[in-house]
Amino acid sequence: MAKTKTEVKQAQEESSGVQEVLTNLCQQQKLAGFDHVIYLQKSLDKEVAAIVWGQFQGVETPHIFLLALPPGQWEKANANYVQELSYTLPAADTLEDQYPQFGVVTDGEHQAVFDLGYPAYEIDRLPTLKEINEYKRIKADPTYRWSMKMYDRLMRGFDEFHEQVYQNVRDNISSSNDIIREVTKILFLESFRLHHEGANLEFKYDDQILRLDQIFTLEYVQQKGNRAISQIQAAFDYFKSHADYVVTDDQGESHAIFDEQTHLRLAQPRNYETLLNLIQNLGPVTNNQDKVVKKQGTLADIAADVLGRVLDVFLRAKFKPEGMGVYLTPAPVKQAMLAIAFHDIKEETPGLLTARGEDGKPAFRFCDPACGSYGFGSVAMGYLERALLDILGKETSIDVRRDKLFQDMCDYSFVGADNSQDMVTLARVNMALLGAPKARIFRTHDSLISEQFQPCSYDLICTNPPFGTPKFSKNQEKAKKSYEQARELILSRFRSDLVVNNKKAGTFTYEPSVSGLAMGGKPDSKGVWKPVSPSIDPAVLFIDRCLQLLKPGGRLLIVLPDGVLCNSGDKYVREYIMGKKDEATGQFYGGKAIVKAVISLPSDTFKLSGTGAKTSILYLQKRQGRKDEPERFQDEPQPDVFMGMAETLGYLVKNNVEDYSVGVSNDLAAIVGAYVRGE
């Protein structure tokens, strides 16, 4: 339908207004010294964009992407969208090292700044003309434009498939979570098909030898219908325990990616046709100059960060936490925790990331003992890749993902566990899509006491563990008693650093060790330790457990309820962590860790998960052991603690979704910036 003159005039005025916003933004950057500008063509949704850069001491700076959004579209001011446009809008003949490294977005009222390296994330300010050349230019993936197009295709396709199953083609599933599980299984089979060949793809079906690459295709399903579905289901049952997807924990116990009770439940041929067409018929792969470099693309050709983002975004959009009782950590929180951790590792112990142990395995190990879908681990993998590029690429250009060290780290350095097999499976497939199918993620009954983790063996732990205790009504006395008995068995394991001094009275003496635990007890006003109540918050036990698992000098970033950090009744926990203060010297003695930072989070951080609990990020560094007695801690000085308070995370929770359109700030970006600069 043709537009009326009024509509045309209104559109022209809106477009003119957005163009004026961009002109003002360009002028702002020009005043900062970035005085070279190229305006980009962007007609979709009235957005306009430009590239700016400058020169410092005769050297051209990295390029900056400027984007002006019309009013009411601020939800697009996010790292993923800005990074996508920064690759798709520049001219096709853009040189690989001239893609923008930073992005600035505004709608005339709000403004946000992004680092567009991998992984892209929000920062609190654009580096100055002098500072910006200190950022290493990251060579662009020569097919990143194509990957971004595939991101759009896959996201739209998964959303449409979700609605298809819900509305039109009903199948053997009953919830959003079921749909996610089935998509995960299909992605596993596709990953297996792409990374194996020949006899490794063969399986037995009705006394026949079939091959996965021959029956797991759109054309085959269209030809054979239900018979093809039966064969694909049989293939899943055969390959789900393949050795290439079996990992071991620290005890040497093996874990397949799916358990024996898990089967492929999709039964409608049309649903298979939709998914196979989506993930296999990707068309030709083109480079950033739009030239065909491969006739038929596959998921293996998509940039790892883009592919990983697909599953993460799909999961956060469709996953219903109440179905599995899991809390998904918001992306800004994960990004902030990993940004701080890897900044300190690169600044203080960069050699850790490139070192190997006596057994030849990478020295660095990351762990999340309550991993859910392993969101912290997938983000950590991106930061590790960037860190290795900074360290290894200082003198020569290096393709980190093809470097043997990085591949070995994908197999060995990433560890995680959860008590939900569904979450573990999602985590395993997510990491497989990122190029780490051997990431050591496994199911455990209880990470607090599992022997599948070896104490003193991890360099970095980032986690959002369960906290809070269940409430029992008066008619649930039996359930309450059963819970308390189970907790007491756990608490008895948290007294390895407590020595009995009066068995009859049930009292202990605390003797701290590098690999021990003690939060199964607490001191009274006279310093005599006694067993704690089973109602103790599990968060306290997770602090103790994580400190036990860390190597001396290892780092812990953990999300905790504020009560542990503030309540007078938990003072003993804080003293257990950092020690008691000597008023004469001002130093703390007897603690297990140095407190590096405390960052308060908004009360609605986990609102989507159904809780309004006030939480904070606690950042600890485990103290070093003594040279003469490695099991005893050194009394290292406690420096000033970095404190931050985030009031908003860049969105508000509305109608059970994260609404980024309201224009609230991501305070964590400013907090991370202040931490990195030592402010």
pLDDT reading at 223 higher than 90 = yes
Please tell me whether residue 247 adopts helix, strand or coil conformation: strand
- pLDDT tens-digit profile of 266-289? 999 999 999 999 999 999 999 877
For the ranges 22-31, 130-139, 300-309, 461-470, the lowest mean pLDDT is seen at 130-139
pLDDT reading at 95 higher than 50 = yes
pLDDT reading at 186 higher than 80 = yes
Residue 620 has what pLDDT?
Answer: 98
pLDDT reading at 16 higher than 80 = no
Q: What is the DSSP letter of 623?
A: P
Q: What are phi and psi of 12, to 5 degrees?
A: -65, -40
Q: Which residues contact 26 (CB under 8 A, 6 or more apart)?
A: 37, 50, 52, 66
Query: What average pLDDT does range 330-334 have in this prediction?
Result: 89
Partner residues linked to 560 by β-bridges: 616
pLDDT reading at 323 higher than 80 = no
Q: Which residues contact 511 (CB under 8 A, 6 or more apart)?
A: 497, 498, 499
Alpha-carbon distance of 224 to 64, in angstroms, equals: 52
In this prediction, residue 12 has a pLDDT band, given cuts at 50, 70 and 90, of: very low
HSE-CB of 649 using CA atoms within 13 angstroms: 22
In this prediction, residue 7 has a pLDDT band, given cuts at 50, 70 and 90, of: very low
Alpha-carbon distance of 195 to 183, in angstroms, equals: 18
Alpha-carbon distance of 325 to 420, in angstroms, equals: 9
**Which H/E stretch holds residue 170?**
none
Helix axes 144-167, 269-280, angle to 10 degrees: 170
Q: Which residues contact 207 (CB under 8 A, 6 or more apart)?
A: none
- Average model confidence (pLDDT) across the chain: 87
Q: What is the DSSP letter of 101?
A: S
Percent of the chain with pLDDT over 70: 91
Nearest by Cα to 417 from 374, 378, 382: 374
Asked if residues 433 and 306 have their Cβ atoms less than 8 Å apart, the reply is no
Query: What average pLDDT does range 548-552 have in this prediction?
Result: 98
Nearest by Cα to 537 from 470, 613, 479, 604: 470
Alpha-carbon distance of 415 to 362, in angstroms, equals: 13
Asked if residues 193 and 203 have their Cβ atoms less than 8 Å apart, the reply is no
Alpha-carbon distance of 593 to 549, in angstroms, equals: 13
**Which H/E stretch holds residue 58?**
none
Partner residues linked to 365 by β-bridges: none
Q: For the chain, which residues make up each domain, given as ranges? A: 12-140, 142-319, 469-536
Residue 531 has what pLDDT?
Answer: 94
Give the burial class of 146: count Cβ atoms within 10 A of its Cβ; 0-12 exposed, 13-18 middle, 19 or more buried.
buried
Q: What is the DSSP letter of 649?
A: B
Strands 458-463 and 366-368 turn out to be: parallel
- SS3 annotation, 113-149: EEECCCCCEEECCCCCHHHHCCCCCCCCCCCHHHHHH
HSE-CB of 508 using CA atoms within 13 angstroms: 20
pLDDT reading at 4 higher than 60 = no
The token duo for 612 is 């309004």
Please tell me whether residue 210 adopts helix, strand or coil conformation: strand
Strands 59-60 and 64-68 turn out to be: unpaired
Asked if residues 353 and 384 have their Cβ atoms less than 8 Å apart, the reply is yes
- pLDDT tens-digit profile of 385-424? 888 888 876 555 567 777 889 999 999 999 999 988 888 8
- pLDDT tens-digit profile of 349-367? 999 999 999 999 999 999 9
Alpha-carbon distance of 523 to 375, in angstroms, equals: 36
**Which H/E stretch holds residue 303?**
none
Q: Which residues contact 623 (CB under 8 A, 6 or more apart)?
A: 552, 553, 591, 592, 593, 594, 633, 634, 635, 636
The token duo for 61 is 């700076």
pLDDT reading at 37 higher than 60 = yes
- Going from the C-alpha of 558 to that of each of 338, 370, 550, the distances in angstroms are 11, 11, 13
Q: Which residues contact 234 (CB under 8 A, 6 or more apart)?
A: 203, 205
Nearest by Cα to 562 from 511, 507, 615: 615
Alpha-carbon distance of 383 to 118, in angstroms, equals: 8
What DSSP line would sit under 347-358, residue for residue? HH-GGGGT-B-T
How far apart, in Å, do the first and last CA atoms of the chain sit?
57
pLDDT reading at 139 higher than 90 = no
Q: Which residues contact 66 (CB under 8 A, 6 or more apart)?
A: 22, 25, 26, 29, 49, 50, 51, 52, 103, 104, 105
Chain center to CA of 140: 22
Query: What average pLDDT does range 537-548 have in this prediction?
Result: 96
What DSSP line would sit under 399-457, residue for residue? -GGGSHHHHHHHHHTEEEEES-HHHHHHHHHHHHHTT-TT-EEEE-S-TTT-TTS-TT-
The model carries a pTM of: 0.85
Asked if residues 129 and 61 have their Cβ atoms less than 8 Å apart, the reply is yes
Nearest by Cα to 121 from 64, 67, 83: 83
Asked if residues 428 and 256 have their Cβ atoms less than 8 Å apart, the reply is no
